[in-house]
Amino acid sequence: MYSQALNTEEASSDISPDADRFQACIDDEQRIEPNDWMPDAYRRTLIRQISQHAHSEVVGMLPEGNWITRAPSLRRKAALLAKVQDEGGHGLYLYSAAETLGVSREDLQDQLLSGRAKYSSIFNYPTLSWADIGTIGWLVDGAAIMNQIPLCRCSYGPYARAMIRVCREESFHQRQGYEIMLTLCQGTTEQKAMAQDALNRWWWPCLMMFGPPDTDSQHSDTSMRWKIKRFTNDALRQKFVDATVPQGHFLGLNFPDPDLRLDDASGHWQFGAIDWAEFRAVLAGNGPCNRERLEARRKAHADGAWVREAALAYAAKQRIAA
């Protein structure tokens, strides 16, 4: 998921026949492919967006990975394991898509491991109970779908095509999360309370996932003109709230927002003010789990060193044999 929050684009200053052809192609809803001419700012914007998206998928495995050994049944364990594996796969598709723009996988990994890379703020919150796993699937993957469906029509071909499969998998993730919530909400008083507590903690961070309000989003017009982005942060956030609030009410849960109310005239759910200071603090590296996540990722990378060495040794042997 998870790309919208951090988007920033660079203004394009290209005025040339190539730039005219490029824009005409985009206006005509054609895809830009890796070998096509593209403005440097378009390339840099995509590298940043796709790599942040890839990092988010990879770091996103960690909060849920913590619960694989503690899943309450074999069925839940198998589903969670498959879901976490999917997120790793999403990261790999996205790193591959970023590589088509001329950046190396090693550079991208270095950026993540060194702490220089940005990834979605949502993955810096702790998973305290099994209900958090349900809530993440329902809300975080639900937000990912909202964000990523429009990316299936992104002007850059490799990114758009990767999103098609990713969105299908996110849909499975969202359903497995909602089903966990449904089970908890139909269970004992303690289980329902656990579900309510998880919603209380995750609701506001999920709304932050869509990124800063449109009034604070710089250069958004350029990304819309390039058709990398099809909807603004606020428009996607509103779509998410409108889709999710009835689902929460069906579960019998209360949203932790006294200002939440249905506006009859517009048909939209209005919601209270988001704490943007919290969002900025998490993005700056000061969320509840930023340091823990980075350490876990570095350890996983170090633990996998033998696999990389073995693969390189095998490749070298194959070359000699050939």
**Residues 290, 124: contact at Cβ < 8 Å?**
yes
Distance of CA 128 to the CA centre of its chain: 21
| Closer residue to Fe ion in complex, CB, 38/98 | 98
Could you tell me the smallest distance in angstroms from the CB atom of residue 87 to Fe ion?
Answer: 5
By CB under 5 A, residue 55 contacts Fe ion: no
**Total binding residues toward Fe ion, as defined by CB under 5 A:** 6
Could you tell me the smallest distance in angstroms from the CB atom of residue 82 to Fe ion?
Answer: 11
In the three-class reduction of DSSP (H, G, I as helix; E, B as strand; rest coil), residue 21 is classed as helix
Taking the C-alpha atoms of residue 157 and residue 297, their distance in angstroms, rounded to an integer, is 30
Could you tell me the smallest distance in angstroms from the CB atom of residue 147 to Fe ion?
Answer: 10
Backbone angles phi, psi at 156, to 5 degrees: -90, 115
Could you tell me the smallest distance in angstroms from the CB atom of residue 7 to Fe ion?
Answer: 17
| Closer residue to Fe ion in complex, CB, 137/211 | 137
Residues 61-100 that bind Fe ion (CB under 5 A): 87, 90
Pick the binder of Fe ion from 12, 141, 192, 196 (CB under 5 A).
141
Could you tell me the smallest distance in angstroms from the CB atom of residue 142 to Fe ion?
Answer: 10
Over the window 1 to 40, marking each residue x when it contacts Fe ion by CB under 5 A and - when it does not, the resulting string is ----------------------------------------
Could you tell me the smallest distance in angstroms from the CB atom of residue 83 to Fe ion?
Answer: 6
Q: Which stretch binds Fe ion (CB under 5 A): 137-145, 200-208, 224-232, 311-319?
A: 137-145
261 DSSP β-pair partners: 270
Q: Which stretch binds Fe ion (CB under 5 A): 26-34, 95-103, 140-148, 291-299?
A: 140-148
Taking the C-alpha atoms of residue 114 and residue 95, their distance in angstroms, rounded to an integer, is 17
Taking the C-alpha atoms of residue 223 and residue 214, their distance in angstroms, rounded to an integer, is 13
Backbone angles phi, psi at 270, to 5 degrees: -90, 145
Over the window 172 to 191, marking each residue x when it contacts Fe ion by CB under 5 A and - when it does not, the resulting string is -x------------------
Tokens of 186: 């139909």
Tokens of 226: 């390039």
Residue with tokens 């700012």: 41
Pick the binder of Fe ion from 64, 132, 170, 257 (CB under 5 A).
170
Check residue 36 and report its DSSP letter.
S
Q: Which amino acid is at 54?
A: A
Rounded to the nearest 5 degrees, what angle is found at the Cα of 83, between the Cα atoms of 152 and 231?
25
**How many Cα atoms within 13 Å fall on the side-chain side of residue 12?**
24
| Closer residue to Fe ion in complex, CB, 57/257 | 57
Could you tell me the smallest distance in angstroms from the CB atom of residue 1 to Fe ion?
Answer: 5
Give the interface with Fe ion as residue ranges (CB under 5 A).
57, 87, 90, 141, 170, 173
